[in-house]
Amino acid sequence: MSEELLKQFIEESIRLERNVAELYKVFNRLFPEDAYFWWTMFEEEENHAALIEHAAKIIVMSEDVLSQMLAPSLDALKKTNLKILSLVSEYNANPPSREAAFNVALKLELSAGELHFQKFMSRQNEDDIIAQLFQRLNKDDKDHAARLLEYMAEHDIKTSQSINV
């Protein structure tokens, strides 16, 4: 696997975080009763993007790192980014229901964990900055999903049948 492919993977990961942030910004505008919640999620997603950008600047592109990246995940990242951009456009023109917004966010957070370099999640090397970065992002994705579910329960927002948690 090439250094160029790793660069694309990192760029798509940054786009993913920024695109999810943009979707949450739309939800912040559309649902004033939940504005603080969505703004907090927006800020955290922006922070994730900044974290990946920072890590990318200090990562040494070794053969070990490159060999652990999986090409199919890049395709999944690209497809997810296109879907999120489509949702942002659609929801700006045709706002979803409050329930639909929360369920879309929940589905995204649950799938984002799958997109964050799952092979790194089990690595234990304390000096492995890439593993640490994506383990943190994976933990944050799970935290976002849990917070969404908790908020939904507290505010009587139904969870979609199509979401398995």
For the chain, domains (ranges, CATH) are 3-154 (1.20.1260.10)
Candidate from 43-52, 71-80, 88-97, 149-158 with smallest mean pLDDT:
71-80
- Do 69 and 117 contact (CB within 8 A), yes or no? yes
> How far apart are alpha carbons 5 and 145 in whole angstroms?
29
- Which residues have a Cβ under 8 Å from the Cβ of 163 and sit 6 or more positions away? 103, 106, 107, 110
Confidence class of residue 103 from pLDDT cuts 50, 70 and 90?
very high
pTM score of the predicted model: 0.76
Candidate from 29-43, 96-110, 113-127 with smallest mean pLDDT:
113-127
pLDDT at 161: 59
> How far apart are alpha carbons 44 and 148 in whole angstroms?
13
> How far apart are alpha carbons 85 and 111 in whole angstroms?
16
